[in-house]
Amino acid sequence: MDKCIACGACTKKCPGKKPDEYNEGIISRKAIYVPYPQAVPLKYAIDPEICLYLQKGKCGTCKKVCPTGAINYDDKEEQVTLKVGSVIVTAGFKAFNPAKLDQYQHGTLPNVVTSLEFERYLSAGGPTAGHIKRPSDGKEPRKIAWLQCVGSRDINKCDNEYCSSVCCMYAIKEAVIAREHLGKDCRPAIFFMDLRSHGKEFEKYYNRAKADGVRFIRSRVHSITEIDQSGTLDLRYVTESGDIMNETFDMVVLSIGMEAPDSIMDLAGTLGIELNQYHFVKTDDLSPVATSKPGIYVAGVAQGCKDIPQSVMEASAAACSAGISLARARGSLVREKIFPPEKQITGQEPRIGVFVCNCGVNIGGIADVPAVVEYAKTLPGVTYAEENLFSCSQDTQDKMVEVIREQNLNRVVVAACTPRTHEPLFQETLRNANLNPYLFEMANIRNQCTWVHSDNKEIATRKAKNLVSMSVSRARLLEAVPALSVNVDKSALVVGGGVAGMTAALSLANQGFPATIVEKTEELGGAARDIHKTWQGQDVQKFLKDLISKVENHPDINVMINAEITGASGFVGNFETMIAAGGNTSIVRHGATIIATGGQASETDEYLLGKNPNVTRWHDLEHNPDKLKKAESVVFIQCVGSRDEKRPYCSRICCTASIKQAILAKDLNPGADVYVLYRDIRTFGDREVLYKEARNKGVIFIRYSLENKPVVQEVEGGLEVLVFDPVLQKKLAIQADLVNLATAIVPHDNEKLASLYKLSMNEDKFFMEAHAKLRPVDFATDGLFLCGLAHYPKPIEENIAQAMAAASRAATILSKPSIQVSPLVSQINAEKCIGCGLCVSICPFGAIELEEIEGKGKRAKNISASCKGCGLCASSCPQKAIDMLHFRDEQIVAAVIAAA
Amino acid sequence: MNKNNPAGSVLVIGGGITGMQSAIDLAESGFYVYLVEETSAIGGKMAQLDKTFPTNDCAM
Amino acid sequence: MAEFEPKIVAFLCNWCAYAGADLAGVSRMQYPSNLRTVRVMCSGRVDPAFVVKALKEGCDGVLVAG
């Protein structure tokens, strides 16, 4: 594996063929293959099932053509015993196979494809290079239908009663992207039961899709048939009001759900962990990533259906749990690499060494490498040039160190593949040769030259020379860039003392990192004080009491109540926050900051709330079970202040909460009439079982629309709720003893905190994470993390997981005495700066601040630890007072001049 | 495993987006990680996706 | 007269467009050889002055991708 240079010579000649799993079998792959071009590690592997040599002892072509001798047919599976302190199960999922559902005819009708197959059709790297073509005749489809809940929310045909949580959103995404690909003529339609866009920014995405011409049809699909030779399909479906309809489509996409992978049974058996009835790993709501066995944790879809951000949060939460259980052993098995001291080169004339790689035949077979070497020798500053068969091989690396020392080189250019994969390797070589790693430059003469001009050797050679010349020009001006490290204060500040804040603080303190909790009210607990049970029935108040007691008694946690943050400065590892509490202001120093300011149920004057005592909201009823017990008729109204113009987001937790209470009402008084007036029922994941239970117990669900909201009025003897029933197609008048409103969940006022720590918020005033999918608890500025309702409404189990995730992310900083940050940062010349502040406002990372210089006014100042090196400031500075280390204006321009 | 003297290493089973994130957090906070993946590349199901909602960012 | 062969300088963001250019190579896509890539850490690094400079030095086109 170490010898493979991923040139692909083997796969080209390989005679074996098999449906390509990565492309869902739409095309085939070879027996020796990489799953996809961006694969990590980028190493070709042999599929023994179809390899002719391994099966029959014939062929052996790949071994013959491999330029590096990387093929080893004798490699065998081996048993390895590892000693580990903890295990994290992230086994993922298996996509539902719709073949067993005969109404969809997948596998029979060519134009019925799964959503995962459609992803591959959309992908530029897919079998059709991103051109959507229907499989039957290769024509561009115009009308495409998505059918939701294939393999989800279905107990009649497939036993998956849960909701897969992600299909509504990915179907909308596929429809939107398909329309981008195919143009305005493309008419996508999504056939669904309940549209579940319950995540952050999802509802807006759904609204945009509607406005952009994606049709949403609330229905049940009956059957699909082919109507002609070309493969056009007829879709027969039943509308909400019971009408049977037909419509033709060019293509039908099945939005397939997720299932536990087959291997999970064996794995669970081996590990001794319990699974739930759907074969997902069993957890409980109050310890969301702990399996039934101590020391073994679970994250992602292996635990239950969820989207990517939630999976990533749980991944960090599981890491946090493992970190707590192994805190004593931290650092015991990792070692830091030590390099020889760096030589000073400042003021020396450039002595550039150029190493031109043949990469076997990848470069050498196309470009004239000896000619490139000779050309390099003629360039100013170059004192040494040579060619290598493989510059990246270990023996060449060792030799390169010798050459650098012998030739007294002070800059190195390697002309080979891409710096994106190989720059770190060569930089390490420089460090081994006593040079600063930034005295290195690569010329990309493989990926961006010989591979893309393989049909013309002369042109490839000419371009390779020019690329080397550009790199040498830049190399002449390269300077040593000193490593940048900042010391870390090993403590955290947690803003907010609710479940999220306390969990985050406790998760850090239990790893030995002290935490200060700043709570603005007089007591800990936050929004959880109003919640009695989790959706699976666990006692929240008992949990909260325990949590508060653990926090208050922990020697490493300092709780400040009635406290307010009045000032903040600093950067990753070194924050300073001013806190006013009890008439005093104190300064707390901390290495990481966790924002967990929470949220609350919003107020409303709709539906007579506040005017009639029998109109309540949220947990008012749970606080008064007597009231619920006595009621003969209870109406729950959903989406009160959510999913409307003012708050175009779904509050995520209300459907589950109201249905839970509706079930409680039925349990307390089975004879009572219980109604839930909803817009879409969003009991995502396993919560779907609650919806089923409620219906089985006789809870009546009536859908209403935003244009036709229910009306609550006082009548003699109580309340009357008027609502239009779309199934019966008539207006109903429901006599109600109680009306309970699921009002929107809103964040607390975070404006001041946002401005103190320079944090961004979305339109709904929730804090914005660095990346919606991949960095769901990080802020864009290093060292600041986010969790709980301040991020988005979410149930308690998700709050706990997210808080542990924030603690895990914080621990990646707090666990080191100092952290290395990239030294390729912005550098302000204070002499040229006029203090206009443009750079401060433009920096996405809060890495520049204005500082008052006596007698001069304001001047910009770098916070290098927060700088990501993007260079926005440098290119925007009207005074040209900012330059970027290693990407200085003159260094970039030198390459441009050489190119011209 | 000795509770008072645990090993400073963690086995992560599955190299999809979840497993990779667990591994990164642990490695960055001082633990040795064994990331086990059954196929020949890490990346999991997310690598098969074209774009991701709600930002339409490229999944790769 | 030989056909006009424009010289094009491309400022490519390391994290996306540059990676894309690498992938074109991995996929062995063939394209004209007129492009010269200058790698930057973000397309935000590209000062309008660089574009002017490139044109002044004799480039016929400038591509910024990120």
Each residue of A163-196: pLDDT tens digit? 999 999 999 999 999 999 999 899 999 999 999 9
> Which residues of A fall within a CB distance of 8 Å from B51?
122, 173, 177
pTM flag (> 0.80): yes
Q: Which residue has the tokens 């196929």?
A: B39
Residue C3 confidence class, pLDDT cut points 50, 70, 90: confident
Paired tokens of A61: 């072509």
Answer yes or no: is pLDDT of A889 > 70: yes
Cα separation of A254 and A234, whole Å? 14
Chains that touch A (3 or more CB pairs under 8 A): B, C
> Which residues of C fall within a CB distance of 8 Å from A897?
53, 57
Paired tokens of B27: 């490695």
Q: How far is CA A92 from the centre of its chain?
A: 15
H/E stretch holding A54 reads: helix A52-56
> Does the beta-carbon distance from B26 to A319 stay under 8 Å?
yes
From first CA to last CA, the distance across chain C in angstroms is: 36
Question: Other C-beta atoms within 10 Å of A748: how many?
Answer: 17
Q: Looking at residue A305, what is its pLDDT?
A: 98
Q: Is A813 on the interface with C (CB under 8 A)?
A: no
> Does the beta-carbon distance from A85 to B13 stay under 8 Å?
no
Q: Is A878 on the interface with C (CB under 8 A)?
A: no
> Does the beta-carbon distance from A870 to C38 stay under 8 Å?
no
> Does the beta-carbon distance from C41 to A895 stay under 8 Å?
no
Residues of chain A above pLDDT 90, percent: 90
> Does the beta-carbon distance from C50 to A893 stay under 8 Å?
yes
Answer yes or no: is pLDDT of C1 > 70: no
> Which residues of B fall within a CB distance of 8 Å from A127?
none
For the segment A460-483, the average pLDDT, to the nearest whole number, is: 97
Q: Pick the residue from chain A with its C-alpha nearest to C31.
A: A452
B20 vs A43, A84, A267, A299, B15, CA distance in Å?
18, 17, 19, 11, 6
Please tell me whether residue A174 adopts helix, strand or coil conformation.
helix
Q: Which residue has the tokens 């400040």?
A: A560
Question: pLDDT tens for residues A261-274?
Answer: 999 999 999 999 99
Residues of chain A above pLDDT 70, percent: 100
Closest Cβ–Cβ partner in C18, C25, C53 for A451 = C25
A47-56: which pairs have CB atoms within 8 A and are 24 or more residues apart? A47/A16, A47/A18, A49/A18, A50/A16, A50/A17, A50/A18, A51/A16, A52/A15, A52/A16
Mean pLDDT, all residues of chain A: 95
Residue A711 confidence class, pLDDT cut points 50, 70, 90: very high
> Which residues of A fall within a CB distance of 8 Å from C54?
896, 899-900
A476 φ, ψ (degrees, to nearest 5): -55, -35
Paired tokens of B2: 């000795």
Residue A678 near residue A638 (C-beta atoms within 8 A): yes
Q: Pick the residue from chain A with its C-alpha nearest to C47.
A: A875
A501 φ, ψ (degrees, to nearest 5): -60, -45
Q: Pick the residue from chain A with its C-alpha nearest to C16.
A: A420
The shortest C-alpha distance from A471 to chain B (Å) reads 29
> Which residues of C fall within a CB distance of 8 Å from A6?
26
Which has the higher per-residue pLDDT, A37 or C40?
Answer: C40
Mutate to test the interface with A, among C9, C34, C39 (most CBs of A within 10 A): C39
Question: pLDDT tens for residues A507-535?
Answer: 999 999 999 999 999 999 999 999 999 99
Closest Cβ–Cβ partner in A37, A38, A875 for C47 = A875
Closest Cβ–Cβ partner in B31, B54, B57 for A326 = B31
Strands A233-239 and A244-249: antiparallel
> Does the beta-carbon distance from C40 to A871 stay under 8 Å?
yes
> Does the beta-carbon distance from A451 to C57 stay under 8 Å?
no
Paired tokens of A396: 């060449």
- As beta bridge partners, residue C8 has C35, C61
> Does the beta-carbon distance from B8 to A38 stay under 8 Å?
no
> Does the beta-carbon distance from B30 to A774 stay under 8 Å?
no
DSSP state of A778: B
In sign, the C-alpha dihedral spanning A561, A565, A566, A568 is positive
Q: Looking at residue A623, what is its pLDDT?
A: 84
C53 vs A448, A879, C9, C41, CA distance in Å?
23, 18, 11, 19
Closest by CA position to A437, among listed A28, A171, A823, A30:
A823
> Does the beta-carbon distance from B55 to A201 stay under 8 Å?
yes
Residue A335 near residue B31 (C-beta atoms within 8 A): no
Mutate to test the interface with A, among C37, C50, C55, C56 (most CBs of A within 10 A): C37
> Which residues of B fall within a CB distance of 8 Å from A764?
none
Instruction: Give the ipTM of the model, two decimals please.
Output: 0.98
Q: Looking at residue A131, what is its pLDDT?
A: 92
CB pairs under 8 A between A and C: 117
- CB contact burial A640-651 (16+ within 10 A = b; e otherwise): bbbbeeebebbb
Question: pLDDT tens for residues A129-148?
Answer: 889 999 999 999 999 999 99
CB within 8 A of A753, min separation 6: which ones? A495, A565, A595, A597, A759
> Radius of gyration over alpha carbons of chain A, in Å?
31
CB within 8 A of A162, min separation 6: which ones? A152, A153, A278, A304, A305, A685, A686, A688, A689
Mutate to test the interface with C, among A447, A876, A888 (most CBs of C within 10 A): A447
In sign, the C-alpha dihedral spanning A209, A214, A220, A225 is negative
Q: Looking at residue A626, what is its pLDDT?
A: 87
Strands A848-853 and A615-617: unpaired
The shortest C-alpha distance from B22 to chain A (Å) reads 5
> Which residues of C fall within a CB distance of 8 Å from A875?
44-48
> Does the beta-carbon distance from B17 to A315 stay under 8 Å?
yes
A residues 107..146 contacting C (CB < 8 A): 125
Q: Looking at residue A591, what is its pLDDT?
A: 98
A229 vs A103, A111, A141, A223, A235, CA distance in Å?
20, 12, 15, 18, 16
Q: Looking at residue A622, what is its pLDDT?
A: 79
Residue B2 confidence class, pLDDT cut points 50, 70, 90: low
Burial class (CB in 10 A: 0-12, 13-18, 19+), A855: exposed
Question: Other C-beta atoms within 10 Å of A19: how many?
Answer: 11
> Which residues of A fall within a CB distance of 8 Å from B27?
334
Q: Pick the residue from chain C with its C-alpha nearest to A883.
A: C45
Please tell me whether residue A591 adopts helix, strand or coil conformation.
coil
Paired tokens of A50: 């179809």
Residue A225 near residue A234 (C-beta atoms within 8 A): yes
DSSP state of C2: P
Answer yes or no: is pLDDT of A596 > 90: yes
Q: Which residue has the tokens 């009708």?
A: A109
Chains that touch C (3 or more CB pairs under 8 A): A
Strands A718-725 and A730-736: antiparallel
Answer yes or no: is pLDDT of B1 > 70: no
> Does the beta-carbon distance from A872 to C37 stay under 8 Å?
no
CB within 8 A of A102, min separation 6: which ones? none
